[in-house]
Amino acid sequence: MINVALFGFGRIGQMHGENLFKHPKFNLKYVYDKDIKLAKKAISKFKTTVIKNYKTALKDKEIHVIFIASSTATHINFIREAAAYKKTIFCEKPLDLDLNKIISCKKYIKKFSPRIQIGFNRRYDPGHYFLKNAIDKKKIGILQKIIITCRDPAPPPYSYLKTAGGIFKDMIIHDFDLIRFYLKNDPISEVFATTSDLSEHAKLFKSVKDFEIATVVLKSKKGVLCTINNARHCTYGHDQRVEVFGTKGMLISNNKRDTEIELSNSNGSNLKTKLLNFFIERYKEAYYLQLHDLAGLVTKKKKPRADFNDGHQALILAIAAAKSLKLKKIVKIN
Ligand SMILES: NC(=O)c1ccc[n+]([C@@H]2O[C@H](COP(=O)([O-])OP(=O)(O)OC[C@H]3O[C@@H](n4cnc5c(N)ncnc54)[C@H](O)[C@@H]3O)[C@@H](O)[C@H]2O)c1
């Protein structure tokens, strides 16, 4: 059994807690959240121990994995400490909002040769991953375009938004990462971003200096054109589609629904049920599948699909997008 200490028991932490609890290879030994009352919910739900000081987990020699699902601002410090204690680390995206903090952490942890997996769960979505394999096997010939649509059903709460880091670093970071995953050794060389606020949510986003809709256009060194089409509200569910286009064809990883049943009647044809509501439902499988690699990482048998460097590189693109928006021009990446 792999003993895990889960740090952070908010929206995503509770979902990870459930997966770790259900997974046959993991034992959720500890849960830590600075909100002790919240963390205590884990005791009856997951038969685990809630700790008041996270160092209890670090000092416990039986703990193999520190699983970081707390607020973004806490990630880097937890990584530094967990690496020094020689733990295997899982850390939610984004690594941090500040590139310098990531660079100095990278230098500091190098001496511990830590094993780190980053929570870029979309790499584990079976549909999105099918596209990755197909691109690598040249099933669509030479890759020419990547088009990602990512629309959340509703904005996160104000309490989350005010510290999350904005649409590029918090939300679109998933799409930057997925593009890098598909492009493999072909780095992004140009980024252009634009945003807008047109709905009743505009006031909320303005209050946190953020935006409700964005489009980002990127170009790779070889010339692949990538479009990211995002919104932080969407009346019909969690709209998640990826299209890759090449010289020999096109592939789509499509939305997911409750059922695949279609109804045709006098109101229309091929009517389908609603899209799955949000990331926890849409990427349910992916969140679970990424744990298999985490188990492999502990036993040194497997490398995760996303590591510390992927977290670092995705943030570089997010920062370039924010810069492009500010300067209203294309930003080149070296
Ligand atoms: N991979 C994904 O799809 C995905 C989805 C949502 C969120 N996230 C990421 O997960 C992280 C958490 O997001 P969330 O939506 O669960 O936020 P949240 O605000 O619901 O939960 C964060 C939790 O962290 C706790 N926390 C804050 N500081 C802490 C500290 N010093 N020590 C221990 N606990 C602390 C808070 O009390 C809270 O319970 C963020 O970094 C976010 O970007 C990833």
pLDDT digits (tens, 9 = 90+) for 113-135: 999 999 999 999 999 999 999 99
* Ligand 1 center to 238 CA (angstroms): 20
The parent domain of residue 17 ranges over 2-114
203 is a domain residue: yes
Query: Which of 16, 70, 124, 291 gets mutated to test ligand 1 (max ligand atoms within 8 A of its CB)?
Result: 70
92 lines ligand 1 (CB under 6 A): yes
Which residues 6+ apart lie within 8 Å of 304 measured at CB? 116, 117, 118, 290, 293, 294, 296, 297
* Ligand 1 center to 267 CA (angstroms): 43
Report d(CA 127, CA 123) in Å as an integer.
9
Whether 257 and 153 share a structural domain: yes
Whether 271 and 226 share a structural domain: yes
Whether 143 and 260 share a structural domain: yes
Are 213 and 198 in contact by the 8 Å Cβ rule? The answer is: yes
Q: What is the pLDDT of residue 92?
A: 98
Number of domains within the chain: 2
Q: Which amino acid is at 138?
A: K
Summarize pLDDT for 5-59 with one digit per residue, the tens: 999 999 999 999 999 999 999 999 999 999 999 999 999 999 999 999 999 999 9
Question: Which tokens in the block code for residue 174?
Answer: 């998933």
Are 228 and 215 in contact by the 8 Å Cβ rule? The answer is: yes
230 is a domain residue: yes
Q: What is the pLDDT of residue 90?
A: 98
Reply yes or no on whether the pLDDT at 334 is more than 90: no
* Ligand 1 center to 13 CA (angstroms): 7
Question: Which tokens in the block code for residue 249?
Answer: 């064809």
Reply yes or no on whether the pLDDT at 81 is more than 90: yes
> Ligand 1 atom 15: the closest Cα is on which residue?
11
Are 275 and 256 in contact by the 8 Å Cβ rule? The answer is: yes
Q: Provide the sign of the torsion angle of the four alpha carbons 11, 15, 18, 24, taken in this order.
A: negative
Q: What is the pLDDT of residue 36?
A: 96
Q: What is the pLDDT of residue 268?
A: 93
258 band by pLDDT with thresholds 50, 70 and 90: confident
Question: Which tokens in the block code for residue 289?
Answer: 């599948």
Reply yes or no on whether the pLDDT at 143 is more than 90: yes
C-alpha distance from residue 38 to each of 10, 41, 43, 321 (Å):
8, 6, 10, 35
72 lines ligand 1 (CB under 6 A): yes
Whether 105 and 57 share a structural domain: yes
Domain boundary among 51, 85, 114: 114
Whether 134 and 278 share a structural domain: yes
Whether 136 and 263 share a structural domain: yes
Angle of helix 284-298 relative to helix 126-136, nearest 10 degrees, comes to 70
Domain boundary among 66, 94, 114: 114
pTM for the full model? Answer: 0.96
Q: Hunting for tokens 């005010």 — which residue is that?
A: 162
Query: Which of 66, 71, 95, 162 gets mutated to test ligand 1 (max ligand atoms within 8 A of its CB)?
Result: 71
121 is a domain residue: no
Q: Which amino acid is at 150?
A: C
Q: Indicate the SS3 state at residue 200.
A: coil
Whether 133 and 279 share a structural domain: yes
Reply yes or no on whether the pLDDT at 291 is more than 90: yes
277 band by pLDDT with thresholds 50, 70 and 90: confident
Summarize pLDDT for 65-77 with one digit per residue, the tens: 999 999 999 999 9
DSSP annotation string for 28-52:
EEEEE-SSHHHHTHHHHHH--EE-S
Summarize pLDDT for 153-201 with one digit per residue, the tens: 999 999 999 999 999 999 999 999 999 999 999 999 999 999 999 989 8
The H-or-E segment that residue 146 falls in is strand 143-151
Whether 135 and 251 share a structural domain: yes
Angle of helix 284-298 relative to helix 11-22, nearest 10 degrees, comes to 60
Whether 171 and 316 share a structural domain: yes
270 band by pLDDT with thresholds 50, 70 and 90: very high
Mean pLDDT of the chain: 96
Report d(CA 251, CA 228) in Å as an integer.
16
Are 197 and 230 in contact by the 8 Å Cβ rule? The answer is: no
Residue 168: which CATH number?
3.30.360.10
Summarize pLDDT for 224-236 with one digit per residue, the tens: 999 999 999 999 9
Per-position b or e across 64-73, b if 16+ CB within 10 A of its CB? bbbbbbbbbe
Query: Which of 293, 244, 232, 272 minimizes the C-alpha distance to 130?
Result: 244
98 is a domain residue: yes
Phi, psi of 31 (to 5 degrees): -125, 135
Lowest mean pLDDT among 199-213, 240-254, 307-321: 199-213
Residue 86: which CATH number?
3.40.50.720
Calculate what percentage of the chain has a pLDDT beyond 90: 94
Q: Provide the sign of the torsion angle of the four alpha carbons 290, 294, 295, 299, taken in this order.
A: positive
